[in-house]
Amino acid sequence: MTTLFAVPSEAPGGLDADIAMHFGHCDAFSLFRIENGRVTGAAVMPAGEHDSCLVPVERLARQGVTAIAAYGMGARPLHGFLASGIQPYHAGEARKVSEVVDAFLKGGLAAFSSDHTCAHHAEDAEGCGHHDH
């Protein structure tokens, strides 16, 4: 089975990058093709400008992403990922992209649930205490 796994990342993206604290405010998405429990390919997709938190969800779905790990996101993108067939995971304690990829390969990431979502509906900082904007 092949998985295309995405991680919202700080610039420049890739395995050595820091994980972005919020899906909607990342610089890039580090993408990893995973086959038979191994990373077989990697790429970086710039996040680009967007005026809706669902735009990156749609872009990732068009790229064929099937799983994503993030620290924070609102309820709208969470539901958008689920509706698009993309399984969201919580990044846990990982701080580097390489750490979250390793945790994913070992089956050590929890599914992202509504308990992990930011309490805001727009892309502002109200109620989202795990990061600053």
Q: Which residues have C-beta within 8 Å of that of residue 133, sequence separation ≥ 6?
A: 22, 25, 124, 125
The yes-or-no verdict on residue 24 having pLDDT over 60 is yes
Q: For the structural domain made of 2-114, what CATH number should be given? A: 3.30.420.130
Domain range list for the chain: 2-114
pLDDT bin (cut points 50, 70, 90) of residue 123 is very low
Name residue, tokens 């919580």: 90
Q: Which residues have C-beta within 8 Å of that of residue 95, sequence separation ≥ 6?
A: 18, 19
Please report the pLDDT score of residue 74 as a whole number: 85
Asked if residues 15 and 101 have their Cβ atoms less than 8 Å apart, the reply is yes
Q: Token digits for 83?
A: 């509706």
